[in-house]
Amino acid sequence: MKKSLMAVALVGAFAGVAHAQTAVQIYGTIDAGVQKRTGQTLTIGKRASNTLGFKGTEDLGNGLKALFQLEIRYEPDTGTVENGSRPLFQGQSRVGLQGDFGMVRIGRGLTPYQETVGAFEPFHALPHQAGFYTDLAVAGYNSAPLDPAGSSNNRWSNAFWYNTPVVSGFQLNTAIATKENNGGPAIGTLYPVGAQASANPFSVSATYNNGPAAVMLGYERNAVESKVMSIGAAFNATPELKLTALYTRQDQDNILVTLPAGSGAKTNAWVLGANYTMGPGKFLAGYGQKDPDNSFKTKQLSLGYEYSLSKRTYVYVDASRKDGPQSQANRAVDPGAVNFYTIGVNHSF
């Protein structure tokens, strides 16, 4: 009898330990392809960010969970950390709690604005020259202009996030960051060495999803008080056809003196896109324009095709033509049209 009671007690104890254990998932992607750009030789590159991530949750009871996520970014052709100079956990480094109240997290990650706007351009937020996510979709905006050269333009370190629960299709996503830099000299594209933040950055986005339709409204202010606003819509016209539209306006009144000669403070941009699925294949198409005050207009046309070999592997081919300034730093200089072609393979695990 005593042995039976002891066995029951041990089983109960181990069940409690198992209940409190953290469920950890290892995941990632590897993407590599051959690329050709006007005026440059053939290179090995990537279409999507290459990631190695670790994420997990722990059930704390009463509907409350602890969660964490760490994400490394790396270069597929050399195996080095992305860009060779970025943090080890460049993609994400956050810990938080989730419950009926929503989700709170602290650390490093995409701003709510940047995370939301990527879902409303046709190349599904690929940080690639054939896509629109890093330039036209955000009107050339930079979320972290004072971070060291080569850093990501769409993430914050030293930040706090809050996401509400989804209620009848609505969700509100917010974040605020401190004025801290990532260490080392701050060398922004338009800012002098040692430039300091003048405000706490904050970001907010609101989304609504209702069956085939989705809309978003996003607003963000960075550490030097540049502001960006976007409104986007997506609609599944048929099960095979998805249409997207996005309008963005950036305001740089506060840093006008540091912009290239002849530039204005306001930049308007828009992108129209479509995805069409046919069996295991998907066609991607988009056209957009970026129009800074008193500067050259940028026009971009991009076409792509993805063919799924399995649920986790697809091959792709892209072609893009971009006419006008190729970066924020040289937007007062028009280099003419640049063509970009790529073919490659993407695998997730």
Question: What CATH number has the domain bearing residue 313?
Answer: 2.40.160.10
User: 160: closest CA among 101, 92, 104, 99?
Assistant: 104
Which two structure tokens, joined as six digits, stand for 12? Answer: 């109960």
Distance CA 339, CA 129 (A): 10
Q: In this structure, is residue 79 part of a structural domain?
A: no
Position 294, amino acid: N
Beta-strand relationship, 337-348 and 64-74: unpaired
User: 134: closest CA among 259, 298, 253?
Assistant: 298
Compute how many other C-beta atoms are within 10 angstroms of the C-beta atom of residue 109: 23
Q: In this structure, is residue 44 part of a structural domain?
A: no
**In whole angstroms, how large is the CA radius of gyration of the chain?**
22
Residue owning tokens 């003196």 = 257
Distance CA 145, CA 153 (A): 7
pLDDT at 265: 83
Distance CA 138, CA 118 (A): 9
Q: In this structure, is residue 89 part of a structural domain?
A: no
Strand partners for 321:
301, 339
User: 241: closest CA among 273, 277, 209?
Assistant: 277
pLDDT at 199: 85
Which two structure tokens, joined as six digits, stand for 310? Answer: 């399995």
Q: In this structure, is residue 257 part of a structural domain?
A: yes
Under a CB-based contact definition with an 8 Å cutoff, are residues 150 and 83 in contact?
Answer: yes
Domain count, the chain: 1
Query: Using CA of residue 58, residue 60, residue 65, residue 68, what is the dihedral sign?
Result: negative
Ramachandran category for residue 326: left, alpha or beta (phi over 0 → left; psi -120 to 50 → alpha): alpha
Distance CA 21, CA 155 (A): 30
Which two structure tokens, joined as six digits, stand for 285? Answer: 């198409």
Distance CA 248, CA 140 (A): 10
Q: In this structure, is residue 6 part of a structural domain?
A: no
Structural domain harbouring 196: 111-348
Under a CB-based contact definition with an 8 Å cutoff, are residues 293 and 301 in contact?
Answer: no
pLDDT tens digits along 18-32: 455 679 999 999 999
Q: In this structure, is residue 165 part of a structural domain?
A: yes
pLDDT at 325: 72
Helix residue ranges per DSSP H, the chain? 2-20, 112-117
Distance CA 285, CA 299 (A): 14
Which two structure tokens, joined as six digits, stand for 311? Answer: 């649920």
Q: In this structure, is residue 286 part of a structural domain?
A: yes
Q: In this structure, is residue 329 part of a structural domain?
A: yes
The upper half-sphere exposure of residue 138, i.e. CA atoms within 13 Å in the direction of its Cβ, equals 29
The upper half-sphere exposure of residue 58, i.e. CA atoms within 13 Å in the direction of its Cβ, equals 13
pLDDT at 161: 98
Q: How does 282-305 read in b/e, with b if 16+ C-beta sit within 10 Å? A: bbbbbbbbbbbeebbebbbebbbb
Tens-digit pLDDT profile for the chain (349 aa)? 444 444 444 344 444 444 556 799 999 999 999 999 998 899 998 999 999 999 999 999 999 999 999 999 998 888 888 877 788 898 999 999 999 999 999 999 999 999 999 999 999 899 888 999 999 999 999 999 888 777 788 999 999 999 999 999 999 999 999 987 554 444 444 555 556 678 899 999 999 998 899 999 999 999 989 999 999 999 999 999 999 999 999 998 876 555 555 556 899 999 999 999 999 999 999 999 999 987 889 999 999 999 999 999 999 999 999 998 765 555 555 567 899 999 999 999 9
